[in-house]
Each structure stands twice: as C-alpha cells, then as structure tokens.
Structure 1
Amino acid sequence: MILSDITTIIRSRFSYQPNYISPLQHRELGKSFSEILLSQRMERAVILLKGTSLAINEVALMLGYRNSSHFYMAFREYYGVSPREYIQYLSKQYLLAYLYYRVAMTA
C-alpha cells in the first residue's frame, strides 16, 4: 500500500520512526498521513475522471488502490457519489454547456 511506502521513505530519509512523525504531523497539519493521502488521491481521481478517457478501474490502479471496489467505496464516502455517477454528472454538464453555447451562437 502507498501509505506504508511513504512511511518507509520518511524512515529511511530522516531516520524517524512513524510513531514520532505521525503525532507531529497531525499536530502541525491537523491531518494524519492517511487523511492527507486520501484527499490527494480523491483530488487526483477527479482530475483523471474529468480529463481523460481512462476506465474507472485504471484510475483506481493509478491511484494505488489494489482493486476498483476499494476505490469506489472511498470515492463514494469522500464525495457522496460513485465514480460512475460523477462521470455521468460531468457528461450532463458538458452537454448542457454545449447546448447553451449552440443556442447563444444562433441567437
């Protein structure tokens, strides 16, 4: 998992143990490693879902999820909708924007 990789990198680079770093980080940033990792993953997920034609399972793998069901659950919990529902919402928004543009151009 990516979280354990981050812990290993910090331990090797700075010679700190996770039980020292984690409380220090939480005190200074107000978030744990896992909270920061989740928010970064979700921000990247939205960018990838908006800006690419990648399949949802490909996005999940790119973000470090071992399978798409874990990604689906995390995305739904974070945003309140599934990745598929989010993509459908974006498609409707793009269609509406296009239709408004067409109407404006013909007026």
Structure 2
Amino acid sequence: VENYNRKVRVDELADRIGINRSYLAKSFKKLMGCSPQQFLVNLRMEKAVGMLKNTDLPVNQIAAQVGYENPLTFSKIFKQRYGISPKNYRESAASFP
C-alpha cells in the first residue's frame, strides 16, 4: 500500500515473494475481491480524490504523485471511474464543503 505511487508489476511482485504470478493473482483476488492491478487503480484514485479535495496542486502533479507518468492516462481513468474529469471533480467538490 505504501508504494502505490511507484510502477508495480505483478510478475515482479510474485518473483520478490517467491511465488507463481498466477497463484499470486488468484490468491489476491480471492482475498481482496479484485485483481492486484484493480486494487492499485482503486488506491490511486482514492488518494487522488483526497488530493483534489484538500490541495491546490495542479492535476498533472497529482497524477504524478499517485503514480501516473502520463496525466492524460490519469484523467482518462479518473473520468471512467467517476464520470467527471479531475478538474471538474475538484470544482464540484469545492461547492460542497
């Protein structure tokens, strides 16, 4: 959870802990209810929402801080998840303290 902003690959994680990649993915999904990749996206989006609500950082800086090298990728994933762009989310969140 601490390294959510770093580039994380399931096969590297599996190698580090000494288990098969597919076993890790299946075990993780059984325990957490989603794939490791989806868990990471969920965590990154939660962190981004907090930053959009509580900071004045530009969206591209928030994207980088939560682990997205490309701010357009971040914005696309954010919009798919919340149905609104990060910028518009921040504006609407500011209307409701």
Which consecutive residues of structure 2, in runs of 5 or more, have no partner in the other structure? 1-5
Other-structure match for 2:8: 3
SS in 2 for 1:3: coil
Other-structure match for 1:97: none
SS in 2 for 1:41: helix
The AA in structure 2 aligned to 1:84 is: K
Q: Percent identity?
A: 27
The AA in structure 2 aligned to 1:78 is: R
TM-score normalised to structure 2 length? 0.84
Other-structure match for 1:103: none
TM-score normalised to structure 1 length? 0.77
CA distance in 2, matches of 1:49, 1:23: 33
Q: CA RMSD in A?
A: 1.7
Deviation at 1:11, TM superposition (A): 2.1
Aligned in 2, Cα 1:53/1:25: closer, same or farther, shift over 3 Å?
A: same
- Deviating above 3 A after TM superposition, structure 1's stretches of 4 or more consecutive aligned residues are none
Residues 45-64 of structure 1: pairs in structure 2 closer than 5 A: 45-64=48-67
Quick check: which has more Rg, 1 or 2?
1
